Amino acid sequence: MTFRFFSRHAQSFLFALRTILSHKARTLLALLGVVIGVFSIIVIMSFGDGVRGFILGQVASFGSDFIQVETQVPGAGNSPSGQAIAKLTITTLKIDDAEAVRRLPNIAEVYAGNIGQERASYRGVHKRILLFGASATAPIVDPNLKLESGRFYSVDEDDGLAQVVVLGADIKDALFGKESVAIGETIRIKGQGYKVIGVLDRRGSVAFLNFDEMTYVPVRTLQKKILGANHIAFFTSKMSDVSREDETVALIRETLRRRHDITDPDRDDFVVTSAREAQETVSSILGAMSLLLMFLTSISLVVGGVGIMNVMYVSVAERTSEIGLRKAVGASSGSVLWQFLFEALIITILGGLIGILLGVIVTWGLTFLSGQLGYGLKLEFTLRSFLLGVGFAGLVGIVFGLAPAYRASRLSPMEALRKE
């Protein structure tokens, strides 16, 4: 059937190809809009897939067995007033809450955390650092928390408000230099001496948080001696059995509501998020963003389609006599329609292929640049991108080429020749 179709319309296809080659300037103008549109779709899709894979990979690097509890403003919602209230610091989450959750079934370990910023100094070198207060159990819950040298602080040091720190790789290099040994040295924070007992392995940024720029300090030390606070910002639990995730999340919520005297779930001053929920939330947000960006970029393809339609209408007007002559010597309305439709399809598919080629080149270039800058973002050109690019281009050719083609096919031979 396909062979019969092409054999019947081969002449229309050849007429279309000859017309395109004989009007190069007009063809290039019509091509341009399609090339830009398909190029944009390919790059946006590749970038969206790359970012999605990159972020989901980073979230997954924390493992599938964690449950995070963070503070939230009760009933803040999404209203402007609620968002203003949400900027306030919530002080209801305590280390004792983390300890209570640690005693629940299916909880293997918990670490409490808080974050602050202070100025650190060492022998005349000053740097503002991000202090990550964490319980001594943090390396158990977060398996990616590894040391290049030294050790992590102990439970006794955490309980005893020890003035010790574990430096991120970039902080160590900034304060001591790349070749110097930091272990055993003392840095000053808020006028107090803190002994360096460990340096973390390079980890880079995970979920937009650069671990190499962090300085770990016992959470109780950060609370009492640096922040002057009694609350924590979050705690993270490690489950023994991931298959019991829903049951464990429900039990944590129940425990915290009881401890915080909360009877209405809408008034929760905390939010509980499992690893699976975090991945689903991130995936849905990124998916929605990708669709929005693809919709916006497809507008340029539609504009290109409108340009093709205008070019085709001009072509029909200029070639009225040619159409009349063809029909006078026996060409059917169908063959004329297919000639003009083939012209639109050839332009859009050719533009689509050029757009795909340019998109692939730019995608590879961005991937290379990302690797050189140390981000490791991999933009992948997939079969889905290719099919969508060609499919969109072909669809634009049919949709915007059909009206001019139909108009050409309906011309009367006598009227067309009379206009000559």
DSSP 152: P
- Other Cβ atoms less than 10 A from the Cβ of 196: the count is 24
| pLDDT band at residue 417 under the 50/70/90 scheme | low
pLDDT digits (tens, 9 = 90+) for 367-405: 888 777 766 677 777 777 778 778 877 887 777 777 777
Residues 30-35 have a mean pLDDT of 80
What is the pLDDT at residue 39?
86
**Long-range own/partner contacts, residues 120-123 (CB < 8 A, 24 or more apart):** 120/171, 120/175, 120/187, 120/188, 120/189, 120/215, 121/187, 121/188, 122/175, 122/176, 122/185, 122/186, 122/187, 122/188
Which residue in this structure is represented by tokens 């009349």?
324
115 bridge partner residues: 132
Q: Is the predicted pLDDT of residue 263 greater than 80, yes or no?
A: yes
d(CA 97, CA 112): 9
Residues 154-162 have a mean pLDDT of 94
Q: Is the predicted pLDDT of residue 177 greater than 80, yes or no?
A: yes
Judge whether 128 and 118 are in contact, CB under 8 Å.
yes
Residues 212-232 have a mean pLDDT of 93
Report helix, strand or coil for 217.
strand
| pLDDT band at residue 85 under the 50/70/90 scheme | very low
What is the pLDDT at residue 15?
63
d(CA 395, CA 23): 23
Q: Is the predicted pLDDT of residue 253 greater than 50, yes or no?
A: yes
d(CA 76, CA 268): 10
Q: State the burial class of residue 71 (Cβ atoms within 10 Å of its Cβ: 0-12, 13-18, 19+).
A: middle
d(CA 43, CA 362): 7
Instruction: Give domain limits for the chain.
Output: 9-59+289-419, 73-268
Pairing of strands 270-274, 107-122: unpaired
What is the pLDDT at residue 285?
79
Average per-residue pLDDT in the chain? 81
pLDDT digits (tens, 9 = 90+) for 86-98: 445 677 899 999 9
| pLDDT band at residue 239 under the 50/70/90 scheme | very high
pLDDT digits (tens, 9 = 90+) for 267-300: 888 999 888 888 787 778 777 877 787 777 777 7
